[in-house]
């Protein structure tokens, strides 16, 4: 397969630069994609941002680079990062640019266009419809203008789910393919015994993993803990815009001793924590099309570990549950809804065990080994 790809792209070249603005150490989707491309004959460089107090980068099969930044957030950060990215790509040797979402698009796409390089757009979300932007007309308008101008100028487009792919294809008049953000296959029988992999009490814990941002149900999960049995804990792995606020909220909660913030966790360590979880948490607020048509990494990470999921009752998750019933779908978005769902699960041990068995079946279908084949075929464009 690798030689076939190289031959197909021989006139273009096989040097790829992928661009993101997040912390490289914790970006599991990009680690999977870059690893797969590197294994199949491409020379890959993943370019991200430098963040304060970051751990050293791990040695991987592909190259990584953090661009320095004076500003860490807001308009000045995006302006500075794209300016640095533009000049970096203006002189860097590469053949194909892969832009991840809109936030590296201005500097990246402009530099690639100036140099006549091939361009690939990987949309992890509906950027102008995320909660942080959708209710801010000026900010949304700015990124929408970037989107309208640059997105049609890419040669290959793909996104994380069929719902978004259909929307984007109609919007731009360009074919958007689907590459789901699923984890590598894990044999359930080889997953470590939770007691040996994570030191915790005999309590059951609900795990949230991912960015601590708006619309992800984290506040209501914290409020819900007040009315859940003492055997239930809430573990939150990740950081984000709401980190300080959520920690303060938890500190004021009567259930504060049962709410744990783990901070950033490396993927290998996060797998062990996920293995030990009782329930995965993946509730999203219906604030914009990005979340409504989402297909988030964490949903598949929970399933791959054999852990049933508490999820929003949105279209993509309904489709997945029709294939393998692995999730308890919640229609509402309140602490009361979370409490009712968790109480139902506690009172339905046979249903819970059936869902764990369904996770094992789903893991054989929803894994990166299957998705990787689609990715490599797409990249032979």
pLDDT at 196: 41
Task: State yes or no: pLDDT of 173 exceeds 90.
Answer: yes
Task: State yes or no: pLDDT of 6 exceeds 50.
Answer: no
Range 53-59 average pLDDT = 83
Residue 78 to residue 21: CA distance in whole angstroms: 9
Q: Write out the two tokens for 328.
A: 């308890």
Task: State yes or no: pLDDT of 195 exceeds 70.
Answer: no
pLDDT at 3: 29
Q: Write out the two tokens for 244.
A: 């300080």
DSSP-based three-state secondary structure for 104: helix
User: pLDDT higher for 287 or 197?
Assistant: 287
Confidence category of residue 11, pLDDT binned at 50, 70, 90: low
pLDDT at 83: 97
Residue 23 to residue 265: CA distance in whole angstroms: 12
Range 14-21 average pLDDT = 97
pLDDT at 9: 44
pLDDT at 198: 54
Q: Per residue in 200-210, pLDDT tens?
A: 446 799 999 99
pLDDT at 312: 97
Instruction: Name the percent of the chain lying above pLDDT 70.
Output: 93
Residue 206's DSSP bridge partners are 234, 279
pLDDT at 58: 87
Report pTM: 0.87
Contact 325, 358 (CB under 8 A): yes
Tell me how crowded residue 331 is: count the other CB atoms within 10 A of its CB: 9
Contact 159, 165 (CB under 8 A): yes
pLDDT at 25: 87
Residue 135 to residue 9: CA distance in whole angstroms: 42
Instruction: Name the percent of the chain lying above pLDDT 90.
Output: 82
Contact 222, 234 (CB under 8 A): yes
Residue 314 to residue 122: CA distance in whole angstroms: 22
Instruction: Return the H-helix or E-strand segment holding 362.
Output: helix 349-365
Residue 142 to residue 140: CA distance in whole angstroms: 5
Q: Which candidate, 101, 97, 93, 94, places its Cα nearest to that of 110?
A: 97
């Amino acid at each position: 397969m690798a030689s076939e790809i190289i031959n197909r792209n021989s006139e273009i070249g096989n040097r790829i630069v992928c661009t993101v603005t997040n912390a490289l150490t914790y970006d599991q989707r990009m680690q999977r994609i870059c690893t797969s491309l590197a294994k199949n004959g491409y020379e890959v460089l993943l370019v991200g941002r430098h963040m304060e107090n970051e751990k050293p980068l791990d040695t991987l099969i592909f190259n990584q680079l953090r661009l320095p930044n004076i500003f860490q957030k807001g308009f000045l950060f995006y302006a500075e990062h794209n300016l640095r990215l533009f000049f970096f790509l203006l002189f860097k040797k590469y053949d194909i640019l892969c832009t991840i979402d809109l936030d590296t698009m201005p500097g990246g796409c402009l530099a690639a266009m100036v140099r006549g390089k091939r361009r690939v757009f990987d949309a992890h979300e509906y950027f102008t419809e995320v909660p942080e932007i959708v209710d801010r007309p000026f900010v949304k308008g700015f990124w929408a203008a970037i989107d309208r101008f640059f997105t049609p100028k890419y040669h290959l487009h793909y996104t994380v789910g069929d719902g978004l792919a259909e929307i984007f294809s109609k919007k731009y008049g360009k074919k958007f393919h689907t590459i789901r953000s699923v984890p590598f296959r894990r044999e359930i029988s080889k997953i470590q015994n939770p007691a040996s992999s994570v030191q915790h009490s005999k309590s059951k814990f609900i795990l949230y993993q991912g960015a601590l941002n708006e619309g992800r149900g984290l506040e209501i999960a914290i409020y819900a803990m007040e009315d859940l049995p003492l055997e239930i804990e809430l573990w939150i792995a990740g950081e984000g815009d709401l980190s300080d606020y959520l920690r303060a909220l938890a500190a004021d909660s009567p259930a504060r001793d049962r709410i744990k913030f783990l901070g950033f966790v490396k993927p290998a360590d996060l797998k062990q924590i996920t293995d030990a979880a009782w329930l995965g948490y993946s509730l999203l607020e219906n604030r914009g099309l990005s979340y409504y048509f989402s297909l988030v990494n964490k949903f598949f990470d929970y399933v791959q570990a054999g852990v049933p999921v508490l999820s929003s009752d949105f279209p993509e998750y309904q489709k997945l549950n029709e294939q393998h019933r692995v999730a308890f779908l919640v229609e509402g978005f309140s602490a009361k809804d979370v409490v009712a769902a968790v109480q139902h699960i506690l009172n339905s041990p046979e249903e819970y065990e059936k869902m764990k068995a369904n996770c094992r079946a789903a893991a054989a279908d929803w894994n990166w080994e299957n998705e990787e084949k689609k990715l490599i075929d797409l990249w032979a464009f």
